[in-house]
Amino acid sequence: MIPRQDMSENPAPRPVTWLFRLGWLAGALLLLPLIAAHVGPLRTYGTSEGLDPSWMAALADAAARGAAFGRDIVFTGGPLSGLYTGFFEPAMAWPIAGFGLLVTVALTIVAGHFIAQRGWPTALALVVILGTGVLLRDTIALLPALFLVLIVTGEPRPGPMVRLAALAAGAVLALAKFSTVPLLVLACLLADLLALSRRQWPWHSLAAVAVIALAFSLAGQNPLALGDWLRGSLETSAGYSAAMSLPSRPLELAAWIAITATLGGVVMRLALSDWKRGEKGVLAIAAEVVILAGFLFLALKIGFVRHDLHSLIGWGCLAVAAALVGTSPAARRDRPAAATALAIALLALLPGPVLVQRTLLPDYTAQPVATARAARDIGETFLRFIADPAAWKRDAGARLIAARAALRASHPLPAIDGTIDVVPSNQAQLIAHGLAYRPRPTVQEYTSYAPGLIARNRAHVDGPDGPANLLMQPGSIDGRHPASAEGALWPLILSRYEPGDIVGGMVLMRRRAAPVPLTAGTTVTIEAGLDTDVALPAGDGPLVMTVRMPLTPLGRVMDLAFRPPIVMLTTVEADGRRTPWRAIPGMLSEGMVIAPHVATAEEFRDLALGRMDRPGWTRPTAIRLSSGWLGRLAYGGSVTVTFTPLDLGPLAAAR
């Protein structure tokens, strides 16, 4: 017979005792060095060449210039991205340092309260995970939202200051990495529902918005433009799964899903046990289940959509979730459930060293040693910072100057008057050379993956604030077609900019006094099926191709739940040779030059000069779009392809 449940969500709260406060302090002191090691407050990274250092440098430079995030800059990182990247920018040194220390202290306060609620098993589990886990920075960024709900449903209940600490840490991190926002929103809604059920003010959501607005303002942004940042970030996030996904390691993904499903079974078993005992309200039980589900769902999306080392985020989140489940009060009454959850937590720690060290027998002592050293270094840096903050900033600035000098020496560029943008991901080079870098909203070409984002870039380049100079080189990431690099903007770039010398492997394009009008020929539209060759119209001039392949309702579900199938564009040469390229449907819908095949800076310069007689220029005779059997379900099995000839005669005449 099932015992009678106490359906009330407002039982008398357990009083806070001196022993609880002592446990809170002990838990905070225990976790502080480990949290600091992963959050990394006061860490400073200079600069270097490469794709990731370039977007880090571009975001830091934008924040220092006061560029409006959400309007001038639309990216997955916000004005406080330095908290996540550690990239040092002198103008943002104090805000980033201050917010980094705030996040570390706030998260430590919340974790200390959580340990005091749960006891030493939870403390030990978190110490093991934070001490041995690999690349846990993204996992740490999701913890404020998870802890907020779990401490609100626990006993003794946290006071307003503890909850505010969780909200402050989560809100500040949201301005560094937007992927944390969905879980923060979910946590605030759940906390507010619990507050209402207990006849308390539901202030959590409003407090989170207020903290975000305050941090946004302190980061040099206009708080009234917070809506622009939110809309731009949502626009970028909406296209991420389709554009940035990488082919997965099926066995790893299947293992993660199977192990997570097992943990889900444990969670439901413990939730049912809590419900039968009647010691916790139904809403509190449901809130714990929902926040854990949201935490793990976000781990799936962040960790396995772009399935490279991002998968370590998925494993790190799984380890944390399993440890918290296995040391919960309900698990202590159910030893098999506790043992299963803790075994999952330990199992989730194993892939990290294997993937990072790339060996089946990795050195499992390496990460604990690295974490201990990081904690020690952060502690020493903090003491130096307290003793002389100005010296800390000077030292970091000196390292930045040296790093930029090394980058200038390895990648020399001439002095260039006027504002400048760059299409390949070489933004760090421009900033290191002190050029007047003014980027397109999406910053890097591979993130221009949705029609709305492309429209923003088009308006920027075509408008009065468009850069006076543009460094151009075709080519992209993930095996994409080289002409996909801002491919929709090529006709506009050809019209607006005049080609010059090749510098640093890129062609320098200078803005014309007046655009050269380009004439488009008659458009040919072809309805075709996936996995079907589509012949290109005959002709020798450049050909712009657009492809419409909207997602079906099932495809939209795939996109929301995980990711839609990857689309491949295969070009067919006259000799029958076929070359597969990764294709992004959102990019294809806005157009790209499919013929001739333009893959180098020299070839783009000849195109910009209207030289269609370049020796050895290849021209595909057909294309094929494919996406496997899942793609036929996601995209309906058919596509609309249009080909539009472009007359470059005016460009040749303008030379």
Burial of 255 (C-beta count, 10 Å sphere; 0-12/13-18/19+): middle
CA distance 326 to 334: 9
**Domain end marker among 319, 345, 364:** 364
Q: Running DSSP on this structure, what letter comes out for residue 445?
A: G
What tens digit of pLDDT does each residue of 548-575 get?
Answer: 999 999 999 999 999 999 999 999 999 9
What is the average pLDDT across 519-523? 88
Residue 193: which residues within 8 A CB-CB, separation 6 or more? 202, 283, 287
Report pTM.
0.94
- Same domain membership, residue 55 and residue 114: yes
pLDDT digits (tens, 9 = 90+) for 272-317: 999 998 878 899 999 999 999 999 999 999 999 999 999 999 999 9
In a domain, 153, yes or no: yes
Would the pLDDT of 435 be above 80?
Answer: yes
408 domain-assigned: no
In a domain, 404, yes or no: no
Regarding whether 578 and 557 lie in a shared domain, the answer is yes
pLDDT band at 1 (very low <50, low <70, confident <90, very high): very low
Cβ atoms within 10 Å of 499's Cβ, excluding its own = 22
- Which residues neighbour 60 within 8 Å (Cβ) at sequence distance 6 or greater? 81, 82, 85, 87, 88, 89, 92
Tell me if the bond preceding 156 is cis, omega within 30° of 0: yes
Q: Are residues 481 and 550 in the same domain?
A: no
pLDDT band at 10 (very low <50, low <70, confident <90, very high): low
Rounded to whole angstroms, how far apart are CA atoms 131 and 373? 11
Q: Which of 511, 538, 568 is the last residue of a domain?
A: 511
| Farthest CA pair distance, the chain | 91
pLDDT digits (tens, 9 = 90+) for 322-369: 999 999 999 999 999 999 999 999 999 999 999 999 888 899 999 999
Residues whose CB falls within 8 Å of the CB of residue 113, separated by 6 or more in sequence, listed in order? 24, 27, 151, 158, 162
Containing structural domain, residue 298: 245-364
22/165 same-domain check: yes
Average predicted confidence (pLDDT) for the chain: 93
Q: Are 343 and 394 part of one and the same domain?
A: no
- Average pLDDT of the residues in 38-56: 92
pLDDT, tens digit, for every residue of 474-515?
A: 999 999 999 999 999 999 999 999 999 999 999 999 999 999
- Residue 411 within a domain: no
Instruction: Give how far Cα 3 sits from Cα of 41, 136, 271, 288, Å.
Output: 50, 42, 15, 22
Least confident of 24-38, 89-103, 282-296: 24-38
| The two three-digit tokens of residue 212, written as one number | 């975000």
477: its two tokens: 């990431």
- Rounded Cα distance, 222 and 92, in Å: 16
Rg of the chain over Cα atoms, rounded to whole angstroms, equals: 27
pLDDT, average across residues 605-616: 88
Q: Are residues 225 and 307 in the same domain?
A: no
61 is a domain residue: yes
Q: What percent of the chain shows pLDDT beyond 70?
A: 97
The more confidently predicted of residues 13 and 239 is 239
Domains in the chain, number: 4
Residue 438, pLDDT > 90, answer: yes
Using 50, 70 and 90 to split pLDDT, how confident is the model at 27? confident
Amino acid at 556: R
C-alpha 332/C-alpha 613 separation (Å) is 77
Beta-strand pair 533-535/622-626: antiparallel
Are both 168 and 25 inside the same structural domain?
yes
Is residue 593 domain-resident? yes
User: Is the same domain home to 43 and 155?
Assistant: yes
Give me the pLDDT at residue 6, please. Answer: 42
User: Same structural domain for residues 206 and 108?
Assistant: yes
pLDDT tens column, 100-128:
999 999 999 999 999 989 989 999 999 99
Q: Is residue 606 part of a domain?
A: yes
Q: What is the pLDDT of residues 153-171, one digit of tens each?
A: 998 888 899 999 999 999 9
Specify whether 359 is located in the same domain as 389: no
Task: Read off the pLDDT of each residue in 69-83 and give the average, rounded to a whole number.
Answer: 95
Residues 226 and 310 reside in one and the same domain: no
Residue 205 CA to residue 541 CA, distance in Å, equals 57
130-138 mean pLDDT: 92
CA distances from 148 to 17, 88, 125, 199 (A): 21, 30, 18, 18
Which of residues 463, 482, 511 is at a domain's end?
511
* Domain match, 233 and 251 both: no
DSSP 536: P
Do the beta carbons of residue 351 and residue 311 sit within 8 Å? Answer: yes
